[in-house]
Amino acid sequence: MLIHALTEMQFYPSTRWQTPPAFHAAIKSAHASFRQGAILQFEDADHLPLGKMSHAALKQAVAVALKDGFHNPWPYTWVQVSKTDPETATVWTLVGTKLIAVLHTPVNTGVLHSTPDGSWPVYERVPVTTMKGAFPTPLTPYQQRLYRAAKSAGFALKGTNIDHWHGALVQWRPYDDPGIKWVSYFDRGRALHYFPRAGYGWPQSAGCVEMPDKAAHQIFSTIHYGSVVTVSKGLRQAEQVPGSNLSKKVHKKWPA
């Protein structure tokens, strides 16, 4: 009943919508994430506490909203992040009954596979914040030889912050970056956000999805709490959205 009601109010995808194959694949592999996203977006739209309601209270709120003719005040949106070179993010928006690509931009995901594949709903949004953490910096071959020689010789290596990370020997270097704008958290500390780089389109971050300022602002203004972010290794050629190295609006309709 819950999913049916959320579907009727357009918080959850309908089988009547015309959507790209990648969207079908994402829902099939991560149904729970889309369900959670629909609930979060409903709670936000109905001015309810996010993620804090009991199941019974949520069902009652949804039933009352459906009876009163409540409807999602925003178009349904989905964010697709492709880790194919060049890395990109595409925002899809429901227009009528079709999911259409409306924003496309180059992005940076995490170095050493620090941005995993999967789907997650946006659970927190802030226009600006300070991000703190540690960045995995790969050791050079020379540094690796020194490290292994020191370890073999029995030297104490505490405090070096050296560890294995996704098959690579890295040194964790702390960062403390203020003024990070247009932030939408989706997977623990990972988020869509602006970060100044000389270029975009290849892995450079500690795990977040970084993008240019204008693109980040556009995406932040288009998506909402509960919008699902899907990260994958790539798109099929037929699903590639035409784009340049600049963020721009695109309009691509899928055949009926």
Distance set, CA 253 to CA 101, 108, 215 (Å): 8, 26, 21
Evaluate if residue 242 carries a pLDDT over 80: no
Average pLDDT over residues 91-99: 98
Q: Which of 104, 193, 224, 251 is labelled catalytic?
A: 193
- Owning domain of residue 13: 2-236
Q: Is residue 124 part of a domain?
A: yes
| Residue 234 confidence (pLDDT) | 63
Q: What is the mean pLDDT of residues 129-147?
A: 96
Total tally of structural domains belonging to the chain: 1
pTM attached to this predicted model: 0.88
User: Which member of 24, 31, 208, 224 is catalytic?
Assistant: 208
Q: Is residue 249 part of a domain?
A: no
- Mean pLDDT in the chain? 91
Q: What is the pLDDT of residue 22?
A: 97
* pLDDT tens track for 140-198: 999 999 999 999 999 988 889 999 999 999 999 999 999 999 999 999 999 999 999 99
Q: Six-digit token pair at 237?
A: 């050629």
**Residue 193 appears among annotated catalytic residues:** yes
How confident is the model over 10-28, as a mean pLDDT?
Answer: 97
Q: Is 224 a catalytic residue?
A: no
Nearest to 187 by CA among 37, 53, 18: 37
> Domain of 7: which CATH number?
2.40.440.10
Residue 256 in domain: no
In a domain, 251, yes or no: no
pLDDT digits (tens, 9 = 90+) for 36-92: 999 999 999 999 999 999 999 999 999 999 999 999 999 999 999 999 999 999 999
**Could you give the CA distance from residue 82 to residue 162 in angstroms, rounded to a whole number?**
30
